[in-house]
Structure 1
Amino acid sequence: MDKKSGNKEEKAKELIARLNRLSSWPLPTSFILIIGVGYFFTFYDISDIGFAMPAIDQQFHLGSSLSLFIALSVGLIGYAIGSYVVGTISDYYGRFRAMILTMGLTALGSFGDAASFNVPELAIFRFITGLGLGADLNLVSTYLSELSPPNIRGKITVYSFILGILGQAITPFIALSLVPVYYDGWRYLFAIGGIIAVVALALRFELPESPRWLISRAGNLEKAEEIITRMENTVRDKMGKLNSPNIVNVDVNEKRFPTSYVFKKPYVYRLALLVTMWFFWYIGNYGFLGDATTLLSASGISISSSIGYLAVGAIGYPVGAILMALTADRFERKYVIFMDTVVWLIGMLTFSTRIPSLIYVGSFLASLALGMYLQVAYTYTAENYPTRARTSGFALTDGIGHIGGALGALFLPVLVSTYGFSFGFTFIGITGVIAGVLALLGPKASKIALEEVSA
């Protein structure tokens, strides 16, 4: 190693150590809210399609198979492609640029969904929406993890998630007031999402680039130090004296195609484990979110009552996220993930009874489990990969894992029609617990510097 490269690497180590010594959120609190607004839209759109599809099905005369394909499979294909392509762009060109791109795509897709008048148009815009959604879930977890101090990394990512998950909690109530009431209610539902995405896009121009990315991929140490100095000043104003930095190993000289790092040891093993974990989780996640309303209404319950059960239960989303804000860093992350999946199983068993009072309870517990699991598991996934390939690794993991979501959404109705309502929802409860068991096999991550977790 020549002297210039050696000096650069030493400087990089110093900057990362300065980042890791920060003990509180080092940027304005408004930045968490800005990211949360975008997250709000992401979860709003994940939910709105399930509530819109019964009306779209009737107006477009889709039939159950085509309805499911448009509602879920097209979006998930876009989701997986967008997460990987934009994730790779993020690893090459920065988190900031990629986060602007994702909100632009989702705004375009949402307004296009609202304006669609035939199946091809709806399929195209659901695909575009999926491109943005998949990438944004990836980027938000990565971005917040790279900015947050090790001791509160889980809590900070959940703070933004709390605002985001409100989108999933509020969407059923908005859908209930629009879809059964107005002929074009489903269009209004999508248009509202587009407006939220435009607001989030405008706000994101205030965000800084990730200094970890600047150090690890771009090698722009001067820009990184400028951002880190501002972060230190923010923490010093709140906390007083800063801790002494602890130097960790950082490589700023090797710059290969981001995905190639993911297939090196130990990351290839983590990729296999996390892909399988998400595959099993998404089977139930997308089966419940995409099919529950339709399957309830198909069993003789009215559309408005079916939406009502899910709407009341959706209160569990923010409750679960708030619980995670209190526990995400207090206990080891992978143990928390496992306990979340146990709550999910209980929720599915309760929901599967189809007893009206227990449907409410089961819907609440399922939403509670989703609110607890998602951001903690997203954060854990991002922590397992190195900075230079963090979004690429997350994208491959989440994208391939979403095959489980597509299968779950397509086969849950088949299981229900063949073996009964109780069997179908019990099955997706069990697949969720399998995901929790797999998480237990991963490395520890809570209160550990990113560079050590991903070493």
Structure 2
Amino acid sequence: MTDAATTAPDASVAARLDALPFTRRHLKVLTGSGLGWALDAMDVGLVSFVLTALIAQWSLTGEQASWIASAGFVGMAVGASLGGLLADRFGRRSVFALTLLVYGLATGASALAGGVAALIALRVVVGLGLGAELPVASTYVSELAPARMRGRLIVILEAFWAIGWTAAALIGFFVIPASADGWRWAFALGAIPALYALIVRWGLPESPRWLAQRGRDAEASEVVAGFESSPALGESRRHRTAPAAPALPAAPAPAATSARQRLARLWSAELRVRTAALWTVWFCVNFAYYGAFIWIPTILFAQGYDLVKSFGFTLIITLAQLPGYAVAAWLIEVWGRRATLSVFLAGSAIAAVLFGTASGEGAIIATGMALSFFNLGAWGALYAVTPETYPTSLRGTGAGWAAGVGRIASIVAPLSVPPLLAAGGAPLLFVIFAAFFVLAAAAAWGLAEHRGAALDDR
């Protein structure tokens, strides 16, 4: 295999994909991947509500609660790194389905946990699947999306996170307080991804860019032909065009066939600045987001609001995620990736300071909704820009390792919350979160801008 072949998928496959309108088959891929994304969010969100219930039921210390919150992120750090490597080796669809199966079964088993140690161990296994699923899913959808709408579709994919987190908030509000075993029933509902994995494995196509990059040109062409024959939807009916001549890389990159070679390529002269910027953004956003949102119900409970009211506030705050995604989905193809990401991160910083100093129910809800709006809009932009950072041969690896670095922060953040609260309360805690958002906003300008560009363009 030549260096160029290793670097980019077959030119005709890439050009044909970018020339497509938005078709019924694109919608199937988007919703199929998005449902997996929503189930992932539901599982992560459930922990914040289960944790609040277990603190009361099991008389957990702050340290024990922190370890339960962080255990899943330990698995996610490993899962994200391995998932990307596996997706570049074995394909996007197969690894996506496997991740759903792993975390679905482990979440269901968490309902049977009899103590802190067992629950922590199961949360690590859950994290292995969760961590691998998100970067693989975003890579998969980005490789099937036409260039002119790729960023918008990835933000819409990320918007399914809000649906899943809202589902978790509804379960937290209605199921968990209903009985002493409510948290067990919540985890039992989290086993749904195990069943959905079968639908993903057999109902969605493999990425044709990955197939072409692996030399499986006939299979890649067959998948693209399926999209070409699919009916166009909405305004896309007026935009079906002939394939444009693809823009090839400025220079072929060295072949990277082993895991070690792919990791080394992330830090080559061509890619090291954007890799450093991407890892910085992922680390900072994970620290601030998971430090805040995993603990919000518990912080409200500690401030004197009962279980139902603290869960109700969190549910309302969570609903603001959807308009955040909607605005980011529009702006990302207007302003571009870097500007949209940076603005939403700056908004997150301001909202974090206001939330940390808010008093009274109205102020808590309003500033919490602002934090939710800006933070989740930033997540949408981050997931859009991440797969675009690397060529096809490195895309899964690059996205997975960026997510893996971010998961290190998501391990540290929940553990940091109790001592920070003890040292300075919510104001100090959220000022620190704001500082991380500011650093991420600055690092965003080190990323490459790929608005409207072919996926493998440098």
| TM-score normalized with structure 2 length | 0.91
Instruction: Pick from 297, 301, 305 the counterpart of residue 297 of structure 1.
Output: 301
Instruction: Pick from 29, 32, 46 the counterpart of residue 31 of structure 1.
Output: 29
Q: Residue by residue, what CA displacement relative to the aligned partner does 1:355-396 show, whole Å, maximum 9, x if unpaired?
A: 221100111111112321112201211110121121111111
Residue 79 of structure 1 aligns with an amino acid whose one-letter code is M
Q: Which runs of 5+ in 1 are unaligned?
A: none
Change (3 A) 1:153 1:25: farther
Instruction: Pick from 367, 370, 373 the counterpart of residue 365 of structure 1.
Output: 370
Change (3 A) 1:18 1:391: same
Residue 385 (structure 1) aligns with: 390
Q: How far apart, CA to CA, are the structure 2 residues paired with 1:416 and 1:228?
A: 53
Instruction: Pick from 249, 269, 278 the counterpart of residue 265 of structure 1.
Output: 269
3-state SS of 2:203 partner: coil
Q: How far apart, CA to CA, are the structure 2 residues paired with 1:327 and 1:25?
A: 22
For the 8 Å contact 1:25–1:148, the answer to whether it is kept is no
After TM superposition, the structure 1 stretch with the greater mean CA deviation from structure 2, 104-113 or 229-238, is 229-238
Residue 55 (structure 1) aligns with: 53
Q: Residue by residue, what CA displacement relative to the aligned partner does 1:218-261 show, whole Å, maximum 9, x if unpaired?
A: 11111111111222233679347523421333669935223232
2:340 counterpart of 1:317: no
For the 8 Å contact 1:80–1:395, the answer to whether it is kept is no
For the 8 Å contact 2:210–2:392, the answer to whether it is kept is yes
2:101 counterpart of 1:101: no
1:184-223 matched pairs, under 5 angstroms: 184-199=181-196, 201-216=198-213, 218-223=214-219
For the 8 Å contact 1:297–1:306, the answer to whether it is kept is yes
Instruction: Pick from 163, 172, 176 the counterpart of residue 166 of structure 1.
Output: 163
3-state SS of 1:397 partner: helix
Residue 430 of structure 1 aligns with an amino acid whose one-letter code is A
2:331 counterpart of 1:334: no
Residue 423 (structure 1) aligns with: 428
Instruction: Pick from 81, 84, 92 the counterpart of residue 81 of structure 2.
Output: 84
Q: How far apart, CA to CA, are the structure 2 residues paired with 1:126 and 1:11?
A: 37
Residue 22 (structure 1) aligns with: 20
Q: Residue by residue, what CA displacement relative to the aligned partner does 1:29-48 show, whole Å, maximum 9, x if unpaired?
A: 23321111111111111111
After TM superposition, the structure 1 stretch with the greater mean CA deviation from structure 2, 154-163 or 238-247, is 238-247
2:107 counterpart of 1:110: yes
Residue 374 (structure 1) aligns with: 379
2:345 counterpart of 1:346: no
Residue 257 (structure 2) aligns with: 256
For the 8 Å contact 2:93–2:200, the answer to whether it is kept is no
3-state SS of 1:282 partner: helix
Q: Percent identity?
A: 26
Deviation of the 1:23 alpha carbon: 3.9
2:285 counterpart of 1:281: yes
Residue 262 of structure 1 aligns with an amino acid whose one-letter code is L
Quick one: higher RCO (CA 8 Å, sep 6+), 1 or 2?
Answer: 2
Change (3 A) 1:11 1:273: closer
Q: How far apart, CA to CA, are the structure 2 residues paired with 1:303 and 1:156?
A: 37
Residue 243 (structure 1) aligns with: 242
3-state SS of 2:25 partner: coil
Residue 224 of structure 1 aligns with an amino acid whose one-letter code is A
For the 8 Å contact 1:100–1:205, the answer to whether it is kept is no
Residue 83 of structure 1 aligns with an amino acid whose one-letter code is A
Residue 407 (structure 1) aligns with: 412
3-state SS of 2:230 partner: helix
Change (3 A) 1:66 1:315: same
Q: How far apart, CA to CA, are the structure 1 residues paired with 2:279 and 2:4?
A: 37
After TM superposition, the structure 1 stretch with the greater mean CA deviation from structure 2, 234-243 or 326-335, is 234-243
Change (3 A) 1:357 1:200: farther
Q: Which runs of 5+ in 2 are unaligned?
A: none
After TM superposition, the structure 1 stretch with the greater mean CA deviation from structure 2, 332-341 or 412-421, is 412-421
Residue 448 (structure 1) aligns with: 453
Residue 150 (structure 1) aligns with: 147
Residue 216 of structure 2 aligns with an amino acid whose one-letter code is N
Residue 43 (structure 1) aligns with: 41
Deviation of the 1:203 alpha carbon: 4.2
Deviation of the 1:351 alpha carbon: 1.5
Residue 245 of structure 2 aligns with an amino acid whose one-letter code is N
After TM superposition, the structure 1 stretch with the greater mean CA deviation from structure 2, 127-136 or 367-376, is 367-376
After TM superposition, the structure 1 stretch with the greater mean CA deviation from structure 2, 345-354 or 141-150, is 345-354
For the 8 Å contact 1:142–1:379, the answer to whether it is kept is no
2:223 counterpart of 1:227: yes
3-state SS of 1:230 partner: helix
For the 8 Å contact 1:37–1:196, the answer to whether it is kept is no
Q: How far apart, CA to CA, are the structure 2 residues paired with 1:147 and 1:32?
A: 9
Q: How far apart, CA to CA, are the structure 2 residues paired with 1:174 and 1:117?
A: 21
Q: How far apart, CA to CA, are the structure 2 residues paired with 1:161 and 1:200?
A: 19
For the 8 Å contact 2:323–2:373, the answer to whether it is kept is yes
Residue 343 of structure 1 aligns with an amino acid whose one-letter code is G
Q: How far apart, CA to CA, are the structure 2 residues paired with 1:245 and 1:407?
A: 47
Q: How far apart, CA to CA, are the structure 1 residues paired with 2:416 and 2:253?
A: 46
For the 8 Å contact 1:103–1:201, the answer to whether it is kept is no
Deviation of the 1:196 alpha carbon: 4.7
For the 8 Å contact 1:297–1:303, the answer to whether it is kept is yes
Q: How far apart, CA to CA, are the structure 1 residues paired with 2:167 and 2:173?
A: 10
Deviation of the 1:300 alpha carbon: 2.6
Deviation of the 1:201 alpha carbon: 4.0
